[in-house]
Amino acid sequence: MTELSFIHRFEPATDSSRPPLLLLHGTGGDENDLLGLGRTISPGSALLSPRGKILENGMPRFFRRLAEGVFDEADVKFRANELADFVTEARKAYGLEAPIAVGFSNGANIAAAMLMLRPDALSGAALLRAMVPLSETPPVDLAGKRVLMTSGAMDPIIPADNAKRLAASLSEAGAEVQHHMLPTGHNLSQTDLQLLVKWFSEQSR
């Protein structure tokens, strides 16, 4: 593992037609959590998987929160920029194009914040159980960026209207957003997996 600003795992690409993935875990996960998911949804992609630097009761996260669903927005902005800087470092170290972020929960929220604050760091994003990361969306041009969002209609953590608001704000900024509201809770389902595989097969054409 190359020494960069985040503890991370990296797996080189075995299929150059597949985009590199930036894998961003949920609360309490680590850099190993989403490697299997990455291999399944985009076989052959280079995988870059950092560990969040914030600890909440010993559980890694990508930014601080004040309570469930209440984010420390100053920290969100700082951490999104810090993670985007890491992506720049890793691209140089490993010879990567701009990756597509694949984030779950807290990882999806930091990916959404990166799209809003540092859009050049990512070529697109798959946001799994994401919510609005910043109360005011900064002016940003996301034209040409493809975003997949999957949300749970029965998610006890993320209200459906919050997820819809995030999808709308990304669309308004020019992103090509596919948003699926699934009959499930906060955990990922088989349907999430099928949607991801289909979406990624379209990315590498």
pLDDT tens digit sequence for 103-122:
999 999 999 999 999 999 99
Q: What is the C-alpha to C-alpha distance for residues 169 and 84, in angstroms, rounded to an integer?
A: 20
User: What's the pLDDT score for residue 52?
Assistant: 97
User: What's the pLDDT score for residue 3?
Assistant: 79
Q: Is residue 192 in a domain?
A: yes
Which residues partner with 124 through β-bridges?
100, 146
Q: What is the C-alpha to C-alpha distance for residues 107 and 25, in angstroms, rounded to an integer?
A: 5
Q: Is residue 97 in a domain?
A: yes
Could you confirm whether 155 is annotated as catalytic?
yes
Low-confidence ranges of the chain (pLDDT < 70): 1-2, 204-205
For the entire predicted model, the pTM comes to 0.97
Contacts 24+ apart (CB under 8 A), 37-43: 37/102, 37/193, 37/196, 38/11, 38/102, 39/11, 40/193, 40/197, 41/102, 41/126, 41/193, 41/196, 41/197, 41/200, 42/18, 42/200, 42/203, 42/204, 43/15, 43/18
Supply 17's token pair: 């037609």
Half-sphere exposure of 155 (CA within 13 A, CB side): 24
Angstrom distances, CA of residue 70 to CA of 49, 75, 133, 158? 25, 12, 9, 11
User: What's the pLDDT score for residue 150?
Assistant: 98
Q: Is residue 3 in a domain?
A: no
Q: Is residue 164 in a domain?
A: yes
CATH of the domain at 101: 3.40.50.1820
The boundaries of the domain holding residue 75 are 8-203
Catalytic residue among 155, 169, 179, 192: 155
Total domains, the chain: 1
Q: Is residue 166 in a domain?
A: yes
User: What's the pLDDT score for residue 204?
Assistant: 60
Q: Is residue 130 in a domain?
A: yes
Helix axes 106-117, 73-94, angle to 10 degrees: 80
Supply 108's token pair: 């999806």
Q: Is residue 95 in a domain?
A: yes
Catalytic residue among 42, 49, 105, 169: 105
Could you confirm whether 105 is annotated as catalytic?
yes
